[in-house]
Amino acid sequence: MVTALVAVAMGVTILGVSFWVIRYLGSAPPPEPDPDDVQEVSVDYRCSVCGMRLTVTHAQGDEAEPPRHCREEMEEVGS
């Protein structure tokens, strides 16, 4: 009895996750950035967790959000 309930629960969970993945993959990708809105910049970032450095050379809009690395926002490094 308990084994059957566990099997049904696992089946429902797998089915639910499968439907979610199919819906996620079937959704439309984000729109392409407007080429007129992309500007040349030169901003250096550093990951506060691992120390990786990154230079951003193009950004959309005036105020670019810092990229994420190691699940944390990177810190802007002064030149």
> What pLDDT score was predicted for residue 79?
58
Q: Is the pLDDT of residue 74 over 90?
A: yes
Return the bridge partners of 58, or none.
Answer: 40
3-state secondary structure of 71: coil
Taking the mean position of all CA atoms in its chain, how far away is CA 67?
Answer: 10
DSSP string, 30-69: PPPPPGGGEEEEEEEEE-TTT--EEEEEEEESSSPPPPEE
pLDDT tens profile 4-58:
999 999 999 999 999 999 999 988 888 888 888 888 888 899 999 999 999 988 8
- Residue ranges making up the domain that contains 11: 2-77
Number of domains in the chain: 1
pLDDT given for residue 19 in this prediction: 95
